[in-house]
Amino acid sequence: MRVALISEHASPLAVLGGEDAGGQNTHVAELAAALVDAGHEVRVYTRRDAPDLPVTVRAPDGFDVVHVPAGPAEPLAKDELLPHMREFSHWLVERWRGGDWTPEVIHAHFWMSGLAALSAGGRTGVPVVQTYHALGTVKRRHQGVQDTSPARRVAYERELGCSVDRVVAQCRDEVGELVRMGVPRSRMTIIPSGVNLNTFTPLGPAAERVPGRARILTVGRLVERKGFQTVIRAMAHVPDAECVVVGGPPAGLLESDPYARRLRALAASCGMADRVRLVGAVPREEMGRWYRSADVLVAAPWYEPFGLTPLEAMACGIPVIGTAVGGLTDTVVPGRTGDLVPARDPRALGTAVQGLLTDRIRRFGYATAALDRARRCYSWAATAEKLAEVYGEVTAVRRPTRVVAG
């Protein structure tokens, strides 16, 4: 099939770890590669955010990345992109009407991509599949006034859910959220993200360790909702271990990052400056080294639409202690591959981590089961196969799509 993936702010070619570059970029890159492996033709459409970018770039994994001119050719925060989605969708329509390549299905990633997809799909008669990656309702609930999303985000997300040909949710928690928003369950299929089982393996080089110290690893964009403060506070209950934080700006720029400075100040005020280490952004191909160097991955977000890092750790044979939120409640099996604790509770987190670090036999059991679960349930090949089934279904039965915006 000819598949157009739309990912307005998250390019599969981006460097990860920065504020708006994380799981969606990885997801789109891995999904595109897996679809190509399965014999599909894939183009990923993302916003042109630098003046010197060629319109089309062939990625090493065999898909094309198309840079769509929409708004200024410079980086913009994702919350500023909505006004440029009309231009984005018009460009797609012109390309697909006049060019030699028209998709048979459009798969939109994130809600603004969905608006562009629905508009372009409506004009060209191509069905649209929607994956949200994150929901405005959840963000608003947790971030309150700090949420800078456009005011109409939640309304658009609801309309999208009721208008696209299929919603692909990534976990059961997301389905519940969408149903509460008023999106009918019958319009949804659950297909989780995968993990790259060639990149993330238990065997291979590991980052250096401090002799005699257990290592807790925590990974993510340096944003508050990832719960790094909870992890640092939890270290009070985990004597003799170090906490390594991967993600954020490159190491050289950590000093000028306000949140990184806050985390370091917190560690110092808890008397843990020598046990908490921020290493900054790590290239995707180096992530396996860091997972393999750890005794446990801790993922302590307030909320998490899916969460790739726990799966990546599991595929490296590392147990996960996470908060019982979002996708983690599907990927982590408490008492078998890791443990789940309430969010924002340093004592519960620290106690769970310390319990696991002091129980070698349980840690070994979790590690083995985590690896097994990642391999059995979360390969990208399986994700691509299930998605291709959905693509086949929506192209076989066309229902009229409605233009929401632009």
Which parts of this chain interact with ligand UDP (CB under 6 A)? 16-17, 22-24, 26, 219-221, 246-247, 281-282, 284, 287, 306-309, 312
For ligand UDP, the closer CB: 117 or 297:
297
Q: How far is CA 142 from CA 180, 226, 250, 301, in A?
A: 16, 12, 27, 11
Residue 391: CB minimum distance to ligand UDP, A: 23
Residue 120: CB minimum distance to ligand UDP, A: 25
- What residue is closest to ligand UDP based on CB? 22
Distance, CA of 372 to CA of 379 (rounded, Å): 11
For ligand UDP, the closer CB: 190 or 405:
190
CB 313 within 8 A of CB 326: no
For ligand UDP, the closer CB: 35 or 246:
246
For ligand UDP, the closer CB: 331 or 401:
331
Residue 299: CB minimum distance to ligand UDP, A: 7
Residue 215: CB minimum distance to ligand UDP, A: 16
For ligand UDP, the closer CB: 26 or 337:
26
For ligand UDP, the closer CB: 165 or 304:
304
- Residue 295: CB partners within 8 Å, gap ≥ 6? 214, 215, 216, 241, 318, 357, 363
Residue 125: CB minimum distance to ligand UDP, A: 32
Residue 334: CB minimum distance to ligand UDP, A: 19
